[in-house]
Structure 1
Amino acid sequence: MQSTETTNKKNMSGFHGYLALMLFLFFMVTSSVTGNPLAELSTRSELVELAGYGEEKLSSVIVTGTVGCEACLDNREAETYAWPVTGALVAISCKSGRRKMKVNDWAQEITNEYGDFLIDLPSHLHAIPYLERACVVKVLRVPKNSPCKRIRVRQSNKIELSSVGNNIRTYTAGSIRLHQTSKLSRNCLKKQIMVKLPRGRDTKLISMN
Structure 2
Amino acid sequence: LGILYCISAQNETVLSVKPGSHFSSLLGLGILNNNPELVKRIKFSSNCAQYLFTSDNEKGKLCSTSWNKLFGTVRCGIFNSNHKDSDRFIWRRAQSCLIFSSTFVMGELDDCAEKNLIEIAAYTYDNGDVPYESQNQGRLLKTFKTKVKIETWYIYKLLINQLFTEYQLMDDNGNLLESLRIEHRDCGSSYYTGLLQNLYFGGQCPAPQEVSVAYRSL
Q: TM-score, normalized by length of structure 2?
A: 0.24
Q: Between Structure 1 and Structure 2, which shows a larger proportion of helix residues? A: 1
Q: TM-score, normalized by length of structure 1?
A: 0.25
Q: More relative contact order in 1 or in 2 (CA 8 Å, sep 6+)? A: 2
Q: Between Structure 1 and Structure 2, which shows a larger proportion of strand residues? A: 2
